[in-house]
Amino acid sequence: MPADMSSDSRRQLLHAVTDLFLLDQEPNDAAKEHYGEIATTSLAHLGDDERKGYADRVASMPTLPHNVAVSLGGDSNAEVARLVLTLSPVLTDTDLAAIAVGQSQQHLVAIAERARLSESVTDILVERGDQKVLHTVSANEGAAFSDRGFDRLLERGEGDAAIAGALARRSDLAPNRAQRVLRIVEHFADGAGAGAKATEEAVSLARQARQQRLEVKLLLSDLTAKVREVDDVLTMLADEDRAYHLAQVLAQVADITIEQALRVLMQRDASGIAVTCRSLGIGTTAFRAILQLRARRLYFSSRDIDDDVDAYAKLDLATAERTLRFLKLRTKIA
C-alpha cells in the first residue's frame, strides 16, 4: 500500500476490501492474514470518525482477523472501541482482560455489556470499574462472578441501592448469594425514606427472582417426569426473557453443562443453538421464541430471525445429533 495515500483513499480501499472479504463466509488463514494486514495498516492512518464507522460495521463479524479485533477493541477512543468490545466474538478473555486493565472506564462499560463474561474478566471490572461499570456488570446476567469477585462487588457497592437492586433482579444467583443480596435490599428498605418505593420494588424483585429459581427446579422435575413438553417450557422461558433459566433447561435436556448451554445460546452465530435444539427435536415455534430472546439480547433484526428459522427447518437431524455427541465427547476428554 503506497505510503502517500490520502486518508480518504485508504478509507475507500478498506471498505472495498471489506466488501470482498465479507463475501467469503469461511475465509482461509491466508485470506484473513492478508485482509488483516490491509485493515491494520489502513486504520493507523484514519481519523476517529472513520475508524468508528469501520469498527461499527465489523464489530460482530465472526471472521474478523484477531489482530484487527484487538486493535479496534483497544483503540484509545472508547467510541471506536465500544461496539467491538460489546459484540465481537473474536476477542478472547485474555484480550478483554488486557483491555480492561489498561483502558478507560468507557471501555470497561462496553465490556460489561457483553452477552457473556467470564469470572476472570468480571474480577477486573469489579476491581477497576467506576459506579457505572459496577451498575452495568451487576445487572448483566451473562456475567459470571467468582466468589472473590462477588464479595468485592458487594464491598464496593456498599450503600449503593442500584447495585443491590440490579443483583436482586438476577435469576442466576446461587441460593447463598441470593440470600445475601435479599438481606442487603431489605436493609435498604428499612431505612429507605424518600426512596422507599424504589427499594420496596427491589425487595419484591429479589423475592420474585427467588420464586423463579424455585419454579425452574419444578419445571426441570416435570421434564424429567415427562409431564411437560420441552417445547412448551422453552417457549415460556424465552417469552419471559429468562436466558439463564432457559440455559438450565437446555443443559439438563441435552446433557451438557450450563456453561455450554449459555455459550451456544448467547454467541452471535446461531449454528450452535440450532444444532442443540435440532438434536433435541425442538419445533420451529419454540426455536423462533429462543431466537427472539437472542435478538433482544444481541440486537438482531427480524430478518435475521427469519433466515435462521429457515435454515433450522433444513438442518439434518442426524448431522445435529452427531455434532452434539462430538461436543459432549470433546468436553469429557478436556
| The predicted structure's pLDDT at residue 190 | 56
Please give the residue that has the higher pLDDT: either 284 or 198.
284
Question: Please, which pLDDT band fits residue 333 given cuts at 50, 70 and 90?
Answer: very low
Asked whether residue 319 is domain-assigned, the answer is: yes
* pLDDT tens for each residue of 222-233: 999 999 999 999
Asked whether residue 130 is domain-assigned, the answer is: no
Domain end: 91, 121, 149, which one?
Answer: 91
Counting the structural domains of the chain, the total is 2
Q: Exposed (0-12), middle (13-18) or buried (19+): which is 45, by Cβ within 10 Å?
A: middle
Residues 6+ apart with CB under 8 A from 120: 93, 97, 146
Rounded mean pLDDT of 28-39? 91
Per-residue pLDDT for 327 more than 80? no
What percent of the chain clears pLDDT 90, i.e. is strictly above it? 49
3-class DSSP assignment, residue 143: strand
Asked whether residue 78 is domain-assigned, the answer is: yes
Asked whether residue 18 is domain-assigned, the answer is: yes
Asked whether residue 170 is domain-assigned, the answer is: no
Rounded to 10 degrees, the C-alpha dihedral 105/107/112/113 comes to: 130
Domain end: 91, 113, 130, which one?
Answer: 91
Per-residue pLDDT for 64 more than 90? yes
Angle at 266 between CA 327 and CA 248, to 5 degrees: 70
Q: What is the 3-state secondary structure (H, E, C) of 54-95?
A: HHHHHCCCCCCCHHHHHHHHCCCCHHHHHHHHHHCCCCCHHH
Asked whether residue 309 is domain-assigned, the answer is: yes
* Mean pLDDT computed over every residue of the chain: 86
Q: How many residues does the chain have?
A: 334
Tell me the whole-structure pTM to 2 decimals.
0.68
Q: Which of 179-188, 228-237, 251-260, 265-274 has the highest mean pLDDT?
A: 228-237
3-class DSSP assignment, residue 24: coil
Rounded mean pLDDT of 275-280? 93
Q: From the centroid of its chain, how far is CA 217? A: 24
Rounded mean pLDDT of 137-150? 92
Asked whether residue 197 is domain-assigned, the answer is: no
Number of C-beta neighbours around residue 2 at 10 A: 7
CA 274 → CA 21, 90, 191, 258, 285, distances in Å? 25, 20, 49, 16, 13
Domain end: 51, 69, 91, which one?
Answer: 91
Asked whether residue 162 is domain-assigned, the answer is: no
- Burial string for 73-96 (b: 16+ CB within 10 Å, else e) reads bbbebbebbbbbbbbbbbbeeebb
Find the domain containing 85 and state its range. 1-91
* pLDDT tens for each residue of 84-124: 999 898 999 999 999 999 999 999 999 999 988 999 999 99
